[in-house]
Amino acid sequence: MKPRRPLLERLYHRYLETEDTAGFVRAVGERYLTCTLARLAAGGSHVSRRAAVLAITFLGDFSHNAVLGRALKDRDRGVRLLADQGIRQLWRRDGSPQQRQKLTRLCRLNQNDQYDAALAAANELIAEAPWLAEAWNQRAIAHFARRRFCEAADDCHQTLELNAYHFGAAVGLAHAYLHLDEPLAALESFRRALALHPDLEDVRGQIARLERTLEGK
Residue 2 maps to a domain: no
Q: Does residue 172 share a domain with residue 114?
A: yes
Q: Does residue 86 share a domain with residue 120?
A: no
Please give the average per-residue pLDDT across 137-159, as a whole number. Answer: 98
* pTM for this prediction: 0.93
Residue 1 maps to a domain: no
Residue 30 maps to a domain: yes
Domain final position from 56, 72, 90: 90
d(CA 143, CA 156): 10
Question: Where does the pLDDT of residue 5 fall: very low under 50, low under 70, confident under 90, or very high at 90 and above?
Answer: confident
pLDDT score at 3: 65
Helices (H), 60-132: 65-71, 77-90, 97-111, 115-128
pLDDT score at 198: 97
Domain final position from 37, 63, 90: 90
Q: Does residue 115 share a domain with residue 50?
A: no
Residue 4 has pLDDT above 80, yes or no: no
pLDDT digits (tens, 9 = 90+) for 150-179: 999 999 999 999 999 999 999 999 999 999
Q: Does residue 120 share a domain with residue 135?
A: yes
Domain final position from 90, 115, 149: 90
Residue 46 maps to a domain: yes
Q: Number of folded domains in the chain? A: 2
Q: Does residue 211 share a domain with residue 119?
A: yes
Question: Where does the pLDDT of residue 1 fall: very low under 50, low under 70, confident under 90, or very high at 90 and above?
Answer: very low
Residue 139 maps to a domain: yes
d(CA 65, CA 168): 14
Q: Does residue 115 share a domain with residue 184?
A: yes
Q: Does residue 104 share a domain with residue 86?
A: no
Which domain CATH number covers 45? 1.25.10
Q: Does residue 115 share a domain with residue 32?
A: no
Q: Does residue 74 share a domain with residue 164?
A: no
Average pLDDT for the chain: 96
Residue 35 maps to a domain: yes
Count CB-CB contacts under 10 A for residue 198. Answer: 15
pLDDT score at 56: 98
| DSSP-based three-state secondary structure for 127 | helix
How many Å separate Cα 48 from the centre of its chain?
21
d(CA 10, CA 100): 33
Is-contact 103 135, C-beta < 8 A? yes
Which domain CATH number covers 115? 1.25.40.10
pLDDT score at 217: 60
Residue 81 maps to a domain: yes
Residue 2 has pLDDT above 70, yes or no: no
Q: Does residue 161 share a domain with residue 202?
A: yes
| Domain that includes residue 119, residue range | 97-215
Residue 49 maps to a domain: yes
Q: Does residue 101 share a domain with residue 86?
A: no
* Higher per-residue pLDDT: 216 or 123: 123
pLDDT digits (tens, 9 = 90+) for 31-58: 999 999 999 999 889 999 999 999 999 9
pLDDT score at 115: 98
Q: Does residue 115 share a domain with residue 191?
A: yes
pLDDT score at 65: 97
